[in-house]
């Protein structure tokens, strides 16, 4: 019996066709999916770290720019690599049965207001950006 596995090719990235772009994102392995989770930094952070965007992590403070929760700020509760979405505290929807559920938000729709600097490797990579900038 032959099993069909997800096939992945970097060649899709060079295509301008939307269907191939979607296929690239859908079939991308986890070590590349993290690159889809970058978000823009606020103006203050951009001048401080001399970079435009950074990967979102749990603990970062973000402001939502699009959608139902536009204008609200909150802390990132968790990040889902598989779905490519992040979940922010207090941004919940009430389901029909009355339970609350956090809503997944696309990283392109948020602006990072404050970074979680508890990780030494993240701080080191941000400082490398300062030296190179």
Percentages of the chain per state (helix, strand, coil), in multiples of 5: 35, 30, 35
53-104 per-position pLDDT tens digit: 999 999 999 999 999 999 999 999 999 998 999 999 999 999 999 999 999 9
- pLDDT > 90: percent of the chain: 65
pLDDT value at residue 133: 47
117-125: average pLDDT: 92
β-strand partners of 75 = 61
CATH of 37-132, one of 3.40.50.970, 2.30.30.30, 3.40.50.2000, 3.40.50.10860: 2.30.30.30
pTM: 0.84
């Amino acid at each position: 019996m032959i099993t069909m596995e997800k096939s992945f090719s970097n060649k899709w990235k060079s295509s301008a066709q939307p269907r191939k772009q979607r296929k690239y994102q859908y079939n991308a392995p986890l070590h590349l999916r993290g690159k889809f989770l970058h978000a823009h930094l606020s103006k203050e952070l951009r001048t401080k770290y001399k970079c435009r965007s950074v990967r979102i992590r749990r603990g970062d403070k973000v402001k939502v720019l699009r959608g139902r929760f536009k204008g609200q700020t909150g802390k990132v509760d968790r990040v889902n690599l598989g779905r490519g979405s992040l979940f922010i505290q207090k941004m919940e929807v009430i389901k029909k049965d009355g339970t609350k559920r956090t809503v997944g938000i696309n990283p392109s729709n948020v602006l990072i207001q404050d970074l979680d600097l508890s990780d030494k490797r993240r701080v080191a990579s941000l400082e490398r950006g300062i030296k190179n900038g």
